Amino acid sequence: MKKFFLFLFPVALLLSCNDTAKKSATADNTPVVAADKPAVDLPYTASYSGSFNSDVSDQDLKMVLTSYKDWADGNVKGVADAMADTLEFDAWDGSSSRLPRAGLLKRWTAFRDSMSSVKVEMEAWHKMHSTDKNENFIVVWYKEYDVFKSGKVDSSNWHDINQVKDGKISYYAQYKKPMKK
């Protein structure tokens, strides 16, 4: 009799585990059937990519966020060190540039030197990896409060796109919306 129960116990255990894995039930014991999600008929097809996940390293995120901290602290060299040898840059005013790091350092140093203080309040960021293009982006949303040596104050909401390649920012685009006074 003991041998029978010893044999029956593993069989019952196997069947109960197998049965549970196959079935899922609602509160009224009605089996739940997994339905395939229908494809959504979207009105547009993404010209660049429509396939992203957040598989971007935390080191890349730290490097990008540190570049904003360096800007606020007046460490323009630190900002430039985060950039690739050549940076493609789309500015908030509609201008575009492709400059070597030394050219950026010169331009940004002159601009930053015109300010007596900069305060950045980082609101959000999102790491984005394009799975079909195999490219990484870190997008950020923040408020920036600039006080110029001339006395002018500029407070704006910003949205920036930072493309990261080989641990450096290789493309940068920014969008600005002035705050209401």
- Helices (H), ranges, 23-74: 58-73
Q: Please tell me the predicted confidence (pLDDT) of residue 28.
A: 54
Q: Please tell me the predicted confidence (pLDDT) of residue 31.
A: 54
* Cα(1)–Cα(162) distance, integer angstroms: 72
> Is the Cβ–Cβ distance between 156 and 176 less than 8 Å?
yes
Could you tell me the pTM of the whole model? 0.77
* Cα(119)–Cα(74) distance, integer angstroms: 10
Q: Please tell me the predicted confidence (pLDDT) of residue 178.
A: 96
Q: Count CB atoms within 10 A of the CB of residue 176.
A: 14
Q: What is the mean pLDDT of each run of 10 residues along the chain (181 residues)?
A: 41 44 48 63 92 97 98 97 96 95 94 97 98 97 98 97 98 95 66
Residue 54's SS3 state is coil
Region of residue 176 (left: phi > 0; alpha: psi -120 to 50; beta: else):
beta
Q: Please tell me the predicted confidence (pLDDT) of residue 30.
A: 53
* Cα(162)–Cα(60) distance, integer angstroms: 10
Q: Kindly report the length of the chain.
A: 181
